[in-house]
Structure 1
Amino acid sequence: MTPYVALPAGQWPEAMEHGRIDDAAFAAAYARSTDTQRAWIKTGLAAVYAALGGPMPASRLRRDALGHNLLLTDQDVPLDYVVIVCGRDFLSPSRLAAAVVPALCARVAEVAAVRVGGVWPRPLLTTLELCGVETACRVAGRDLVGLLAALPAKGRGAVVVLGGLRLPTAIPAAVEVYEARIARRAGVFAERDAAFDTDALDFAHPDMAFFQHGGVCPDRPSWASGPGGLAEALPLGYDAVYAAPARVSEALAAAPLVLGPGRETFWLWPKLPPRIFRVRRLAAGAVATLPAAS
């Protein structure tokens, strides 16, 4: 039997270390991004941090004396690590940021990103750079089983899966797995008082199919005209709807995420709040009682 060896801080399983992206690649991706593209990423990042409430305390401890003589201690601390995993089909800087920031808000010390079977696109590396994530790796699909098996040596952690990638079925019990998947369909309901920046949308979600309802549909491969209005949008299976602020209530009935003008590069995963990247521990005892006075 192979002896168990803990991986120290900053070191990852062999497959990740072998495919680690060097600093020069990060720097080149950042330099080749335009000022506008970096501004789009930063705008989305700031909004995600605001939506999640910013960084949590590094540790929280609460002790309550409750009924039935119960003394309850409740502690939560960050996981040891989080790994964001995606396949070559995943291309969205906004949805990547929305997966990374919750782990950062949970104060997870080590966050890494792994791409399976393909090179890292420049906008994704730039997003990781702006998030402050310094570890990005490229691995082959055949390496996934060994990579996952080795992760418990990092402690207690989680893997977040983006896009259509499917993980092997054999996953160690010490590794929590969360999936953030969508159908990659969005409805854009343009109105006179709700103009959307289609260049920003294409940059934020290059793997998304956009359907324009009303107005002139952009002449681009990922865009098509959509039928009807918001009232008829529910059966269309949109992951997000872009609509005027005045129509938010109506739009919420059509999709789980509604975004207004100025939020083209914002995304939020409702099932990835920071608290899932924390470890909660409980202790129960008896409240000390004073002896009765004689």
Structure 2
Amino acid sequence: MPDFGAKAQIVQFPKFLDERGNLSVVESQKHVPFRFRRCYWIYDVPGGELRGSHAFKNQHEVIVALSGSFDAVIHDGVEEKRYSLSRSYYGLYLPPMHYRTLDNFSTNSLALVISSTPYEEDDYIWEREDFCRIKSAWTPTPLQYAPDTEGNKAPDLAAVKAATIDDCSLLTLPRHSERSGSLTSLENSREIPFDVKRIFYLYDIPGGENRGGHAHKECHQMLVAASGAFDVKVSDGKNEKIYRLDRPYYGLHVPPGVWAEELNFSSGSICLVLTSHEFDESDYWRKYSDYLAFKRG
């Protein structure tokens, strides 16, 4: 993991190239120095708009331009610096007590923000003057690595084998709309039925392309068409169903034991995926024949 201090900094995330569309990933306490507690995405922002002028007393966050571009103007209590965000595989890490404003949005921009704490109004500092006054007497607390106390539990293979397409669910996610754009926010085990440990997203996807084609033994997934539209075909080895995702406030929960494949991407689509586990190749079925052998065995 990079050496994160108490300063704002640009972080580069892994970028996996594929002719069917590229993929970048952010894992909790691996690519950023905190556990995920909340994430939200900002969309439908008019070109040139300004969003989010505030600081946090305790919250760490990372901000990513999933599409389009915008600037983050950061004040650390001493000086101001402007960061231009325009690549899906770069993020701006902000520790607590940095006053930030997002501005200069290009048309059709999409911002992803991952946070270390649930929403708490008392954690916000809205006025810049208040921030400067509080920051002058503030002492940073070193960020402590929090080990995973859950450990690695063996998957419940009986439940995985019994999973069907009826265990998938299309959820309408919270949508907060205003003139300066819309925001959809998710908190762990609140709007979604699991804690998020990994977030990845597919982008630069050619129109009409297909992706995916796998199942998990333990990992839950939430799929969102953060931009554009695509279909998700789910199968349990006996039955199939196709869901159409075409709104950034719809999420499809796919539990372990259900095969999923993304189809018919529209041009410019972005597939945002939230998962309950970090990447583990042994958790995948990548061949449908192996998946069927397990389900029918």
TM-score (norm 2): 0.25
More helix by share: 1
More strand by share: 2
Structure number with greater CO (CA < 8 Å, separation at least 6) is: 1
Q: Which has the larger radius of gyration?
A: 1
TM-score (norm 1): 0.25
